[in-house]
Chains A and B, each alone.
Chain A
């Protein structure tokens, strides 16, 4: 595509104050090499439609603010180059499976409420250490690998928009919260599996996922929520059949240990700063 060409953006517009339903508007945008969909939206806002509403922040695929439906696929506008779409028209709509606040801005509140419900933080019985930690908890590289992939989630909502179960079941927590339920349950420092199991093992819960696996195909960060969800189901089933041997959450490296050091874990070096 040469730089003198223009590219057409077809954008879904919706103003809650005046419009009963969304409508579509097309804009001609000068194409530039390396131009992202977010760049195109900025150009339109600067030059053609100052009222165009869209959400963004970091412009580099880290914050997860600019999740949109671009040419039928939920992804990040800042991470999608116009040339890579290989299409004469860039069709941009707000993420489906959410309410639309205005133009390209979805209301992500239900997603964050569901995320909160699965208790996305380390849960332990030693409240004293949690409230006033004396040191880091130890964790082997192997234990880190058990959840590291799922910790790259940026909560952009692309997986929720792609999920076919989310489309018809509003009580379903969705790929992001379920993947995060596994992320924390698989963390060797955590002891909250039973509590999270209550939150996800229910009607319209984790077993409503039937591996449409669009969440993993759509995820712009390679988090693979579908894998985390299947591993969560495996753990729930094995736990029910009493085939899963739960470990106690690991203790601290320094200071008072709650469960003692496991075999093969070397002593940590002394603090470099005292």
Chain B
């Protein structure tokens, strides 16, 4: 490509911009964000459990009563990890079903107004998102009880 042309690739902005704004775009973006969040949590989790190697005092300083990680900020963070897991799992099941072609419908002759795989898969999407939301609400109630 000539250096005089303008590079109009959207980059990471393209996860949110440049489309027709179907709800599935936001599920796509949220799936990536929650995936990165869960991965970050795993790394943090390994670091925290590694503290046990430095003795019980170090462990208790982090996770004992009044420990650093018992601060409400980390408890909220833990709930966010649970919420991310609930969404990521439900959307993951949705993606497995769709990517194996089970919820996109058969090819049809396009007649305006067009019905696409978006419409065909919406029922599966709604059911699985409700299941994910129910998991998050029940998990949230558990957090409140403790």
Contact = CB atoms under 8 A, between A and B. Distances in A.
Most chain-B CB neighbours within 10 Å: which of A95, A101, A167, A207? A167
Given A96-B8, A233-B101, A217 B15 contact: no
Nearest to B111: A222
A182 B1 CA distance: 28
Interface stretch (B18-26, B42-50, B66-74, B129-137): B18-26
A223 interface: yes
A230 B8 contact: no
Contacts, number: 175
A16 interface: yes
A218 B24 CA distance: 13
Contacts of B111: 222
Interface residues of A, number: 61
Task: Label chain A's interface by main secondary structure.
Answer: mixed
Contacts of A9: none
Contacts of A194: none
Interface stretch (A33-41, A46-54, A68-76, A120-128): A68-76
Interface string B109-120: 111101011101
B4 A231 contact: no
A118 to B, nearest CB: 18
B59 to A, nearest CB: 39
Grouping DSSP codes into helix (H, G, I), strand (E, B) and loop, the B interface class, with mixed when no group exceeds half, is loop
A233 B21 CA distance: 24
Given A145-B109, A224-B117, A226-B117, A211 B19 contact: no
A213 B25 contact: yes
Contacts of A193: none
B55 interface: no
Interface string A121-163: 0000000000000000000000001111110100000000111
Nearest to B101: A234
B100 interface: yes
Contacts of A230: 98-101, 104, 117
A166 B14 CA distance: 8
Given A145-B107, A150-B107, A167 B9 contact: yes
A100 B8 contact: yes
Contacts of A161: 18
Interface size class, chain B: 35 or more
A16 B4 CA distance: 5
A14 B98 contact: no
Chain A CB within 10 A, most for which of B7, B13, B28, B120 = B28
Given A72-B18, A167-B9, A227 B104 contact: yes
Nearest to A161: B18
Contact of A218 (B13, B20, B121): B20
Contacts of B18: 69, 72, 74, 96-97, 161-162, 164, 167
Given A164-B28, A213-B22, A16 B114 contact: no
Given A14-B6, A145-B108, A168-B14, 17 more contacts: A96-B17, A99-B8, A147-B107, A164-B18, A164-B25, A164-B29, A210-B31, A210-B95, A211-B121, A212-B19, A213-B22, A216-B118, A218-B19, A222-B112, A227-B105, A228-B107, A233-B99
Interface of B: 1-2, 4-22, 24-25, 28-29, 31, 95, 98-101, 104-112, 114, 116-118, 120-121
22 contacts: A72-B21, A73-B19, A96-B18, A99-B1, A99-B6, A107-B1, A146-B107, A148-B107, A164-B16, A166-B14, A167-B15, A211-B24, A213-B121, A214-B21, A217-B19, A218-B19, A221-B110, A222-B110, A222-B114, A224-B117, A230-B104, A230-B117
Interchain residue pairs A-B with the least CB separation, the first 4: A167-B14, A222-B110, A222-B114, A234-B101
